[in-house]
Amino acid sequence: MRSAHAEQLTNSSSIDEVDTRPSLTKQQTEFFHVYSAAPFMPEAEVCRQAGIRPAQVTKWKKNSEKFRQALAVEHRRSQRVINMSRKVVMDGLLTAIDMAKDQRQPGGMISGWKEIGRICGFYEPERREISISVNGQDLVEQLKFMPKEKLLELASQHDAMDGEFEVIED
């Protein structure tokens, strides 16, 4: 059950917050009616109580901008109700890490730091763009216009391979 303070905050949520929720379909409104009553209930349970298939909610999240906006409004409201923020979560994790350190539990410390890294986005995949031409034409063009001194310098810096060559007259 929610605390009296949470109920008071819920009931006193600003009118403009409700007005900023975009117009939704009847099913979406029913979903939000159940979701706003218990925002920390698992989504599958909210769907069951609202009489909506979870696949339908997934489809709304993917395709409906209005639904995503309403979900963001409801998420901010529920964060205000419990006074939750990223800073509060980080402070709690740091406290838990300190406790694990005092109790000499390295596993707890590692778990805490791993979670902090995840929150900070350190485990996000890095996007790197590498352009490769199919036949190395870019490199060939660069080498064509490079002065002979620079070419000799490059060849001397790297291990040059012995090879046979043939001079072709134009």
Dist CA 32 CA 28 (whole Å): 6
Considering the domain boundaries, does residue 142 fall inside one? no
Considering the domain boundaries, does residue 151 fall inside one? no
Q: Give the 3-state DSSP-derived string for 44-87, with helices as H, strands as E and coil as C.
A: HHHHHHHCCCHHHHHHHHHHCHHHHHHHHHHHHHHHHHHCCCHH
Q: Are residues 59 and 113 in the same domain?
A: no
Query: What are the structure tokens assigned to 163, written together?
Result: 């090879």
Q: What is the pLDDT of residue 76?
A: 85
pLDDT in tens, the chain (170 residues): 334 434 444 444 443 344 456 688 888 888 988 888 887 788 899 899 999 999 999 999 899 888 898 888 888 888 787 777 788 889 999 999 999 999 999 999 999 999 988 888 888 777 777 766 666 777 777 888 888 888 888 777 766 566 676 777 76
Dist CA 27 CA 52 (whole Å): 7
Q: Are residues 17 and 57 in the same domain?
A: yes
Q: What backbone phi and psi angles, to 5 degrees, belong to 4?
A: -65, -35
Considering the domain boundaries, does residue 33 fall inside one? yes
Dist CA 99 CA 162 (whole Å): 63
User: Rounded to two decimals, what is the model's pTM?
Assistant: 0.43
Domain limit, last residue, from 30, 56, 82: 82
Q: What is the pLDDT of residue 3?
A: 40
Considering the domain boundaries, does residue 78 fall inside one? yes
Instruction: Using alpha carbons, list the distances in angstroms from residue 95 to 85, 104, 106.
Output: 16, 14, 14
Q: Are residues 101 and 113 in the same domain?
A: yes
Q: What is the pLDDT of residue 2?
A: 37
Axis-axis angle for helices 86-102, 106-120 (nearest 10): 160
Look up the domain containing 113 and give its range: 86-120
Q: Which residue has the tokens 């339908």?
A: 56
Q: Are residues 68 and 91 in the same domain?
A: no
Q: What is the pLDDT of residue 84?
A: 73
Q: What is the pLDDT of residue 134?
A: 65
Considering the domain boundaries, does residue 162 fall inside one? no
Q: What is the pLDDT of residue 159?
A: 64
The CA dihedral of 49, 54, 57, 59, to the nearest 10 degrees, is -160
DSSP symbol at 12: T
* Count: domains in the chain: 2
Q: What is the pLDDT of residue 96?
A: 94
